[in-house]
Chain A
Amino acid sequence: MRATNAALGAAGLAAFLALGEAVPRLGLVEDAYFPPTSRIADALGAELAEGTFWTALGDTLTGWALGLAIAVGAGILAGVVLSIVPYLREATASTIEFLRPIPSVALIPLAVLLYGTELRSVLLLVVYAAFWQVLIQVLYGVQDVDPVADETARSYGLGTWARIRHVLWPSALPYVMTGVRLAAAVALILALTAELVIGAPGLGARIAVAQTSQAVPEMYALIVVTGLLGLLINVGARTVERRALAWHQSVRGEVTV
């Protein structure tokens, strides 16, 4: 079953790449703006040979990882604190609903004013976007705690910390993991956007330079890299999720089928 899936996946990708090669070669689109796959592959090879490419990749990954770590840490902490103090939850609900829909890119002028084109500009956007993903999931997750389990824990005399650890956290974890997975993807998008628009060092800035330089195959090659990066991050996040939730029935169920 698995092998068939892999083969189908590979065939689909191969067909897509062949299409990318054929369409410009047949003259259906101008190859100056949509170069065939082989020319993009050449440009990609040239990119990989350059030291500055790896620096840019490192910059992007740094912005992504730091931003995600801060957002996840802060999101979990804030989510748990908000849920165990009912008054706090009530007091912040409207503020959260007000702040959450503000698109992170709207903060670009603020980021430039505060930090110029430094890494911190990227972090501001990444953290703002990823934080809500985690926070909201934590809040949902906490609501999902079985009241009977919670009452039982109380009647056995468990303290606040013990209840967070043994009742609240395991119930909320599947939600938290979903939040982390969403945040990981959003963080990458925002890191690249910040680099593209502000010019903070990284793959996004490199794409922008290729674009303004009329270096079309190089631009597509870099876009391919960002696509692969997104794919890797998603696969990685799913693996972490499966590991962390190995004990949970949703994952256990998957394994037995």
Chain B
Amino acid sequence: MRRPLAGLIAGALLLVTAACGASDDSASPGSSGSGGITTVKVGLIPIVDVAPLYLGQQRGIFAKHGLKLEMSPAQGGAAIVPGVVSGQFQFGFSNMTSLMIAQSTNVPVQAVVNGIASTGVRGKDFGAITVQQDSDIRTAKDLQGRKVAINTLKNINETAVRASVTKAGGDPDQVEFVELAFDQMPAALDGGRIDAAMVVEPALATVKSQGGREITSPFIDVAPDLTIAMYFTSTRYAQQNPQVVKKFQDATAESLAYADSHPQEVREIVTTYTKIPPDVLEQVTLPKWPAEPNRASIEALMKLGQADGLFKSTPDLDKLLP
């Protein structure tokens, strides 16, 4: 009778000491390392869009500017904004509508440098409204009364689809939006559970490989060369560390330009942090990575979002944008 108790206590003690040891080992690495290199944590979704950061890190662009990036791949944007605001990550990646929603509800975020933009080429963008090959939907107007999948309700993709429907002369209020993860859209479309899907890469390539048709490029219907996402930080971090933010802006801008002019290297680096199969990756349409955000396009996105009732108050772009 004594043994099980003693054994259990010994076991528990061992595990608790192991716990202490392990947490000591994983204690957060100093934010400022030797040789003037500052380590910053970046919260991002492991998708093609953020390839320039991985590429810039690999090509030594960030090191040249005195930065070391520690990528924290988060699943979905939901973890990124709170992570940045609470200081777990110094920088994050988020779409413009989410950033404007955050700003309009007084979440202290500040966009610092461009993330990705639409290619601006109709029919050759990285996001599209798609339908099955034999669908009777021909234009965005035909989406009225149909079930259209978007990844998040009341966010950038809803604004984009509504813009396409309006532009085609339809009433977006008659579209039935359903929320579905991008990766589940090809199967749902194929199985006829939805009539159309607003997909982005690599799901777009999968849909096309099944013979799906593109109806329109909704990001282009919002604005030409729409700035879709940006890297951001918390206003507090930006105030306290202006020089780190400046370094991050410069290094990221340089990495974006490098990625834009080296698409083959982008496709190679993507395989290091995603599992996109090679045959799909070849078909993927890459986004544009201009170094500067397109303010006019963000204003257009804001006006549409406001009309759709996404914001509690008018987002202050002068405060939000760098």
Q: Residues of A with Cβ closer than 8 Å to B?
A: 30, 32-33, 62, 65-66, 69-70, 72-73, 76, 109, 112-120, 165-166, 169-170, 173, 196-199, 205, 208-215, 218, 244-245, 247
Could you give, for residues 268-281 of chain B, a 1 whenever the CB lies within 8 Å of some chain A CB and a 0 otherwise?
Answer: 00000111110010
- A70-B19, A212-B183, A214-B183 known; A117 vs B274 contact (CB < 8 Å): no
From the candidates B1, B75, B190, B277, name the one contacting A205 in the complex (CB within 8 A). Answer: B75
Partner of A112, one of B4, B79, B183, B203: B79
Closest chain A residue to B277, Cβ basis: A215
Q: What would 24 A/B residue contacts be, using CB atoms closer than 8 Å?
A: A69-B12, A69-B19, A73-B16, A112-B86, A112-B88, A113-B83, A116-B41, A116-B43, A116-B88, A117-B72, A117-B73, A117-B83, A118-B88, A119-B26, A199-B75, A205-B73, A209-B273, A209-B274, A210-B275, A211-B183, A213-B275, A214-B186, A214-B206, A245-B4
Please pick, from B4, B22, B75, B210, the residue contacting A244 in the complex, using a CB distance under 8 A. B4
Q: Which residue of B lies closest to A69 (CB)?
A: B15
A198–B75 touching, CB < 8 Å: yes
Q: Choose one: B2, B83, B276; the contact of A215 (CB below 8 Å).
A: B276
* B237 in contact (CB, < 8 A): no
CA distance A114 to B85 in the complex (A): 11
Question: B307 within 8 Å of A by Cβ?
Answer: no
- Tell me the bound Cα distance from A32 to B12 in angstroms: 46
Given the contacts A114-B86, A119-B26, A65 and B74 also touching, CB distance less than 8 Å: no
B residues 8-30 in Cβ contact with A at 8 Å:
8, 12, 15-16, 18-19, 22-23, 26, 28
Tell me which residues across on chain A come within 8 A of B170, comparing CB atoms. none
* In the complex, chain B residues 65-124 whose Cβ is within 8 Å of any chain A Cβ: 72-76, 78-79, 82-83, 85-86, 88-89
Given known contacts A30-B187, A209-B273, what 7 new A-B pairs fall within 8 Å (CB)? A69-B19, A72-B12, A113-B82, A116-B41, A198-B74, A212-B45, A212-B274
Q: Which residue of A lies closest to B202 (CB)?
A: A214
Contacts of A62 in B (CB 8 A): 22
A213:B202 contact, CB within 8 angstroms:
yes
Q: Which A residues touch B15, using CB under 8 A?
A: 65-66, 69-70, 73
Residues of B with C-beta under 8 A to A208: 75
B72 touches A214 (CB 8 A): no
Please determine whether A109 and B82 come into contact, CB atoms closer than 8 angstroms.
Answer: yes
Question: For A32, what are the chain B residues with a Cβ–Cβ distance below 8 Å?
Answer: 186-187, 190, 206, 210
Cβ–Cβ contact B4 & A173, under 8 A:
yes
Q: What CA separation (Å) do A109 and B80 show in the bound complex? A: 10
* A-binding residues in B (CB < 8 A): 1-2, 4-5, 7-8, 12, 15-16, 18-19, 22-23, 26, 28, 41, 43, 45-47, 72-76, 78-79, 82-83, 85-86, 88-89, 181-183, 186-187, 190-191, 202-203, 205-206, 210, 273-277, 280
Cα A70 to Cα B11 with chains together (Å): 11
Q: How far is the CA of A119 from the CA of B46 in the complex (A)?
A: 18
Q: Which residue of B lies closest to A164 (CB)?
A: B5
Q: A66-B19, A72-B12, A114-B86 are in contact. Are A212 and B74 (CB under 8 A)?
A: no
Residues of chain A within 8 A (CB-CB) of B1 are 166, 169-170, 247
Name the residue of chain B whose CB is nearest to the CB of A208: B75
- Cβ contact within 8 Å between B19 and A165: no
A118 to B25, CA, bound (A): 13
Asked whether B75 lies within 8 Å of A215 as measured between CB atoms, the reply is no
A210, B47: Cα distance in complex, Å: 11
Residues of A within 8 A of B74 (CB): 117, 198-199
Could you say which residues of chain B place their CB within 8 Å of the CB of A120?
23
Say yes or no: A117-B79 contact (C-beta < 8 A), given A32-B210, A209-B46.
Answer: yes
A184 CB to nearest B CB, Å: 13
Contacts of B73 on A, CB cut-off 8 Å? 117, 199, 205, 209
Report the bound CA distance from A89 to B217 in whole Å. 63
Taken together as a complex, chains A and B put the C-alpha atoms of A73 and B26 apart, in Å, by 22
Whole-angstrom distance between the Cβ of A119 and the nearest chain B Cβ: 6
Chain B residue nearest in CB terms to A197: B75
Distance, CA A117 to CA B88, complexed state (A)? 8
Q: Smallest distance from the beta carbon of A221 to chain B beta carbons, Å?
A: 11
CA distance A169 to B88 in the complex (A): 42
Q: Is A165's CB under 8 angstroms from B86's CB?
A: no
**Residues of B with C-beta under 8 A to A119:** 23, 26
**B89 touching A212 by the CB < 8 A rule?**
no
The answer on a CB contact under 8 Å between B72 and A116 is yes
Residues of A within 8 A of B191 (CB): 30
**In whole angstroms, what is the CA distance A247 to B73 when docked?**
49
* Nearest Cβ on chain B to A220's Cβ, whole angstroms: 12
